[in-house]
A = this chain, B = another copy of it.
Amino acid sequence: MATLVSPDHVSYDDDAQALKKAIGGWGTDEKAIVSVLGHRTAAQRKQIKQAFWDRYQEDLIKRLESELTGDFEKAVYRWMLDADDRDAVLANVAMRKSLDYHVIVEFSSVYSADELLNVRKAYHARYKKSLEEDLATNASGNARKLLVGLATAYRYEGTEINAALAKKEADILHDAVKDSESHGEEFIRIVTTRSKTQLLATFNAYRQLYGNSITKALQTDPADEFKTLLRTAIRGLTEPYKYYEKILRNAIQKRGTDEDALTRVIVTRAEKDLKHIKEEYYKRNSVSLSQAVAKETSGDYKSFLLALLGDEK
């Protein structure tokens, strides 16, 4: 469930005028920006962009970028992109700047088949090439195979479970955990092609047969990029709320705070399942996510995140 609080009926033209006023004069009225954009759905934001263009012949996103700064600017910019386009941008930035593939593993494993496909389409539109071709060019070895496999999957989404297959593949995974050099391909095959429901059954069979969770078993070597990406994929595929909770926890606990991760999760999930993620966070940390965010952030950035979290006061 979403945390975003938005009115049912909105005058897009009024919003466009309010935003123009907020960014048009001496100095910028960030509070006004939060009070409008922090309370509009994706569909409404799209209409507001259009209304802004119709009235002022100006690109609202570009205006916001030039008027705002720092983490607040970044957060507003990401918020204003269409969801699919936003993920395409995050993926491309990850490949160009840091070769940190976790963001790509994240959407490739958490998203539904159609959501993932839409990100691939947005990537075409923005970068004039495919996500998989950039992944295949930038990454190498087992990491490449895993990344391309995850990003190109169009998984079956039925609820059928084949219990015999789950046991058989739990055995294969067990061999692969011990020796990912020679069994890595089988690991990749299973994780990138099976349905999420079937994978859950396989990982449960693994725990029953070997007395340990597969993600624990993969924890042995934190410097092993392939295993680290695999763990991210498995957590994203099977327990997305817990996965996001951990990303937020790490971002908040990090010395200096990881604003990029914090912004990403809140912006991408505020209209989807951030309520569940907040519950998960409270269960794990005995402090509410909004309190934790309020403590670690400040100013307009803080107000904006709290608005998206549905906890403004």
Contacts and interface: CB of A to CB of B under 8 A. Distances in A.
Contacts of A155: 130
Interface in A112-153: 117, 120-121, 124, 128-130, 132-133, 136-137, 144-145, 148-149, 152-153
Nearest to A186: B136
User: How many copies of this chain are found per oligomer?
Assistant: 2
Interface string A190-216: 001111000000000000000000000
A282 interface: no
Contact of A194 (B120, B133, B160, B194): B133
Contacts of A70: none
A117 B97 CA distance: 31
A283 B91 CA distance: 47
Contacts of A160: 128-129
A189 interface: yes
Contacts of A157: 124
Contacts of A189: 136-137, 144
Interface in A279-312: none
Given A136-B189, A189-B136, A154 B128 contact: no
Contacts of A195: 129-130, 133
A222 interface: no
B130 A193 contact: yes
Contact of A153 (B137, B152, B156, B193): B152
A7 interface: no
A158 interface: yes
A9 B154 CA distance: 38
Nearest to A121: B154
Nearest to A131: B154
Contacts of A148: 149, 193
Given A133-B193, A136-B189, A193-B136, A128 B152 contact: no
Contacts of A128: 156, 158, 160
A154 B136 contact: no
A130 B144 CA distance: 21
A130 B156 contact: yes
9 contacts: A117-B154, A124-B156, A124-B157, A128-B156, A128-B158, A129-B160, A133-B194, A136-B193, A148-B193
